[in-house]
A = this chain, B = another copy of it.
Amino acid sequence: MTFPRFTELVESLPATVPFVGPETQERARGRPFDARLGANESVFGPSPRAVAAMQEAAAEAWKYGDSTSHDLRHALAAHHGITPEHVIVGEGIDGLLGYLVRMLVAPGDAVVTSAGAYPTFNYHVAGYGGALHKVAYRNDREDPEALAARAAEVDAKLLYLSNPDNPMGTWHGPETILALLDALPGGCLLVLDEAYVDFAPAGTAPAIDPDDPRVIRMRTFSKGYGLAGARVGYALAAPALIAAFEKIRNHFGMTRMAQAGALAALRDQDWLAHVIAETAAGRDGIARIARENGLSTLPSATNFVAVDCGRDGAFARRVLEGLVARGVFVRMPGVAPLDRCIRVTAGRAQDLAHLARALPEALAAAEEAPAEG
């Protein structure tokens, strides 16, 4: 008998990590990155009001956070024109995806996503024993029709779609999402990950009846609001689904600083508008640097840009490694043909100067390297 007696499921899981953090890479390379453009964080920072609110809350850190995130949840409801019963606040979208998968996915249950989409969702599905079915991207976009068709084929309980998409930055208009909703097979819930929707063209987020039971929308303070390190996500769905989180969630899981910071960030929409403008400028800067190096970029409705390195995944991997070696933290998609690209987060002028310095050298080194395999 092995000991401790893990469940069969846990015994079968690999000790995988969805992402290696930049701090881990910095320790391995022995020095910090010059530019941190790999995790789609907002280098423009959170609202100064959010920082001040967190600093004030820090002095009260001896108190547990409010288990219902009452004030934040009510403010979010008002912001979205819905009721607090349509909103659940959680420990980042990662935390909420974990709860959602746990609620719906028993071992063997079918789940559909796109090949190359968010690894942490896949991690949760695997962690609860789900059978993950992957659909190819089409023209660098997730393929709603093919996803719905696959969901019907495999009787999926969940269909994951990010709009705008990570890691490619592409997006669908609201009519396509609404059509997907109508194309969903019975019994399948759409997980619409809108982490990046703040950066998308106005109107990208479709108008969906808040009581529509077919969909749960995931939002976050980690991207536009610049609070990745505070771990605040929220989900919007029909009250019956929102209420079910109460059965399993970690009721006292939110930190007091996160609750205060997110509330202040939500109230500072001017800062969000500032970040969106800076982010657009940062995307343009990445595209310009790419062009100067003979590379093209994909249009993006997010805070990052997929830079097409023009060859295969092995080449792009060498470019990425060259950038990392030169102090520029970036990441890349994990599957072909998406992996011909590297993914660069929109940065400030000083961040992009490092990219502009390092990219020609990284490309030259990637050209010189012997092809592997």
Q: Is the CB of B243 within 8 A of A255?
A: no
Judge whether B61 and A226 touch: CB under 8 Å: yes
Within 8 A of B (CB), among A229-266: 229-231, 241, 243-244, 246-248, 250-258, 261
Do residues A10 and B103 form an inter-chain contact, with CB atoms below 8 A?
yes
CA distance A243 to B1 in the complex (A): 19
Complex formed: what's the CA distance from A109 to B92 in Å?
Answer: 31
Q: Is A187 an interface residue (CB 8 A)?
A: yes
Report how many residues on chain A are interfacial, defined by Cβ distance under 8 Å.
86
A50 and B256 CA atoms in complex are apart in Å by 15
Residues of B within 8 A of A241 (CB): 4
Q: Which residue of B lies closest to A241 (CB)?
A: B4
14 contacts between A and B (CB under 8 A): A4-B213, A10-B104, A24-B68, A41-B63, A51-B58, A54-B61, A57-B229, A65-B231, A94-B252, A94-B253, A127-B247, A230-B257, A231-B253, A255-B258
Residue A269 interfacial (CB < 8 Å): no
Report if A62-B91 is in contact (Cβ < 8 Å); known contacts: A17-B251, A157-B4, A231-B255: no
A350 at the interface (CB under 8 A from B): no
Within 8 A of B (CB), among A256-285: 256-258, 261
Chain B contacts for A256, CB-based, 8 A: 229-230
Given known A-B contacts A1-B187, A61-B226, A54 and B13 have beta carbons under 8 A apart: no
Q: How many angstroms from the CA of A10 to the CA of B6 in the assembled complex?
A: 21
Q: In the assembled complex, how far is the CB of residue A100 from the closest CB belonging to chain B, in whole angstroms?
A: 9
Q: How far is the CB of A234 from chain B (nearest CB, A)?
A: 16
A193-227 CB contacts (< 8 Å) to partner B = 213, 222, 226-227
Q: Which 5 A-B pairs have the closest CB atoms?
A: A229-B256, A21-B67, A54-B58, A23-B66, A62-B226
The reply to whether A251 and B19 form a contact with Cβ atoms under 8 Å apart is yes
Q: Pick the contact of A247: B10, B46, B67, B222 (CB < 8 A).
A: B10
Q: How far apart are the CA atoms of A63 and B43 in the complex, in Å? A: 8
Query: In the complex this chain forms, how many copies of it are found?
Result: 2
Taking CB atoms, residues of chain B closer than 8 Å to A45 are 59, 61-62
How far apart are the CA atoms of A254 and B21 in the complex, in Å?
13
Which residues 1-55 of A have a CB within 8 angstroms of B?
1, 3-10, 13-21, 23-24, 27, 36, 39, 41-46, 50-51, 54-55
A333 at the interface (CB under 8 A from B): no
Asked if residues A244 and B6 are in contact (CB atoms below 8 Å), the reply is yes
Interface flag for A105 (CB, 8 Å): yes
Q: Which among A36, A255, A256 has the greatest number of chain B C-beta atoms within 10 A?
A: A255
- Whether A247 pairs with B54 at a CB distance below 8 angstroms is no
Contacts of A6 in B (CB 8 A): 103-104, 244
In the complex, the chain B residue whose C-beta lies closest to that of A23 is B66
Chain A positions 52 through 95: 1 when the CB is less than 8 Å from some CB of chain B, otherwise 0: 00110111111111111010000000000000000000011011
Chain B min CB distance to A97 (Å): 9
- Nearest chain B residue, comparing its CB with the CB of A106: B7
Whether A36 and B61, one on each chain, are in contact in the complex, defined by CB atoms closer than 8 angstroms, is: no
Chain B residues with Cβ below 8 Å from A23 are 66-68, 70
**Which residue, A6, A9, A36, has most C-beta atoms of chain B within 10 A?**
A6
Q: A102 at the A/B interface (Cβ < 8 Å)?
A: yes
